[in-house]
Amino acid sequence: MIITLKNKHTLQIDDFSFKCCIGKKGLTSSKKEGDNKTPKGIFKIGNLYFRKDKLKKPDTQLTCLEIKDTMGWCDDVNFPKKYNKLIKINKKVKHEKLKRKDNKYDLLIPIKYNFKRPVIGLGSCIFIHLTSNYKGTAGCIALKKKDFLIMLKIIKKNSKINII
Tally the residues of the chain. Answer: 164
pLDDT digits (tens, 9 = 90+) for 102-160: 999 999 999 999 999 999 999 999 999 999 999 999 999 999 999 999 999 999 999 99
Measured CA to CA, the distance from residue 76 to residue 139 in angstroms comes to 16
- Give the CA angle between residues 85, 89, 92 to the nearest 5°: 100
Is 62 within 8 Å of 155 (Cβ atoms)? yes
pLDDT digits (tens, 9 = 90+) for 9-41: 999 999 999 999 999 999 999 999 999 999 999
Q: How far is CA 134 from the centre of its chain?
A: 15
Residue 20 one-letter amino acid: C
Residue 19 one-letter amino acid: K
Measured CA to CA, the distance from residue 2 to residue 86 in angstroms comes to 24
pTM for this predicted structure: 0.96
Domains of the chain: 2-163 (2.40.440.10)
Give phi and psi for 12, each to the nearest 5.
Answer: -115, 130
Neighbours of 74 (CB within 10 A): 24
Q: How far is CA 89 from the centre of its chain?
A: 18
Name the average pLDDT for the chain: 97
Residue 28 one-letter amino acid: T
pLDDT attached to residue 97: 97
Q: Name every residue whose Cβ is closer than 8 Å to that of residue 31 and which is 6 or more positions away in sequence.
A: 37, 39, 113, 114, 122, 123, 139
Measured CA to CA, the distance from residue 60 to residue 92 in angstroms comes to 35
Name which of 75, 97, 1 is nearest 45 in CA terms.
1
pLDDT digits (tens, 9 = 90+) for 105-115: 999 999 999 99
